[in-house]
Structure 1
Amino acid sequence: MKYGQDWQPPAVDWSSTRGRILLAAATLFAQRGYFGTSTRDIADAVQVRQPSLFHHFEAKHEIFRTLVELDLGPSIDRLRSRLEEDSTWAEKLHLTIACDVREALVQPFDARGLYQDAVLGLDEFTDERDGIGLFHELVEQVISSGREAGEFVIFEPSFVQRAVNGVLFETLREQGGPGGRLRERRPLQAADFV
Structure 2
Amino acid sequence: METADTRQEILIQASKLFKRLGYRATTTREIAKAVNIKQPSLFHHFPNKKAIVEEIFALSLNEAAIRIDEACRQPGSVSERLHQYLVWDFSSLHRMPMAMSAIYTGDALKSPELAELADKLKAFYRSLEDLIAQGIRSGEFVEIDPALGRLMVASITIAHLEYAEEAVIEDPDRLAREGADFVLRAFRRPEQA
Tell me if TM exceeds 0.5.
yes
Question: Do the aligned residues in 2 keep the contact of 1:76 with 1:135 (CA within 8 Å)?
Answer: yes
Match of 1:107 in 2: 96
More helix per residue:
2
1:105 Cα deviation from its structure 2 partner? 0.4
Secondary structure in 1 matching 2:139: coil
Write out aligned runs for 1:75-86 (5 A): 75-86=64-75
Match of 1:164 in 2: 153
Question: Do the aligned residues in 2 keep the contact of 1:147 with 1:153 (CA within 8 Å)?
Answer: yes
1:14/1:147 CA distance change after superposition, 3 Å: farther
Backbone CA RMSD of aligned residues:
2.0
After TM superposition, the score normalised by the length of structure 2 is 0.85
1:14/1:107 CA distance change after superposition, 3 Å: farther
Match of 1:180 in 2: 168
State yes or no: 1:116 paired with 2:105: yes
Question: Do the aligned residues in 2 keep the contact of 1:105 with 1:182 (CA within 8 Å)?
Answer: no
Write out aligned runs for 1:1-194 (5 A): 15-116=4-105, 118-176=107-165, 180-184=168-172, 185-194=174-183
1:183 Cα deviation from its structure 2 partner? 4.5
Deviations 1:87-114 (A, max 9, x none): 3111111112221111110123221211
Question: Do the aligned residues in 1 keep the contact of 2:22 with 2:107 (CA within 8 Å)?
Answer: no
With 153-162 and 183-192 compared, the bigger mean Cα shift is at 183-192
After TM superposition, the score normalised by the length of structure 1 is 0.85
**Structure 1: which amino acid aligns with 2:142?**
V
The gaps in structure 2 that reach 5 residues or longer are 184-193
**Sequence identity, in percent?**
30
**Structure 2: which amino acid aligns with 1:181?**
I
The gaps in structure 1 that reach 5 residues or longer are 1-12
- Alpha-carbon separation, structure 1, partners of 2:3 and 2:61: 18
- Alpha-carbon separation, structure 2, partners of 1:103 and 1:181: 12
Question: Do the aligned residues in 1 keep the contact of 2:71 with 2:131 (CA within 8 Å)?
Answer: no
- Alpha-carbon separation, structure 1, partners of 2:34 and 2:107: 24
